[in-house]
Amino acid sequence: MQPKMIAKICVDTAMTVMLLFLMAYEMIGEAAHEWLGISIFVLFVIHHVLNRKWCSSLLKGRYTLFRIWQTALILGVFLTMLGSMISGIIISRSVLSFLPISGGQSFGRNLHMISAYWGFVLMSLHLGLHWNMMMGMAKKAVKKPIPMGTWLLRGIGFLIAAYGAYAFLKRDIGIYMLMQSHFVFFDYEEPLIFFLADYIAVMGLFVLIGHYLTKGIKNLKK
């Protein structure tokens, strides 16, 4: 495997893990949340540097339905990341509190909430775009194929997605995405691992949706 591909995998894996912990911001503490936010933004910039070839071809070539879908997702992720960073700077009370920013706290909180939850969903859908590639790499890494391995993984994926749909409702993620509530409620007595497990399942749900939407869009050309 080429060093550039290894770097891409490491950056994307680190961003995925950080994203899950960022969603638990009240449970990990304000300072940790802000440092993670800055770190994921740095990795986001590195991600785009590593994928600069794709960025430079945005205005070139014909836009198929798949390319429109892919570009819309990436632009959505970019906008939510930008919204998270700008709002994070506005409402920072720890790492960036030294900045001479006054006012805009209400706007900053609302922008941060909608950017965070939409960003989580869009990044998960974006992962679904590359699911076939990730599965291909996993198969190469396994020396002895497991009998019925593809069907087994598919079954596990659907089970995770089914629980993810339940967790999506249980955690009121849709409510926060639509700004029907301006405050996120946490159970501070809940172990962090349970919270993360629910969000991993929700991520799995949208990875699956992203994968099958992409598959359907590609099949429309046939």
What's the whole-model pTM score? 0.89
pLDDT, tens digit, for every residue of 10-35? Answer: 999 999 999 999 999 889 999 999 99
Alpha-carbon distance 35 to 143, whole Å? 39
> What digits encode the pLDDT tens for the residues 160-179?
999 999 999 999 999 999 99
Buried b (16+ CB within 10 A) or exposed e, 95-131: beeeeeeeeeeeebbebbbbbbbbbbbbbbbbbbbbb
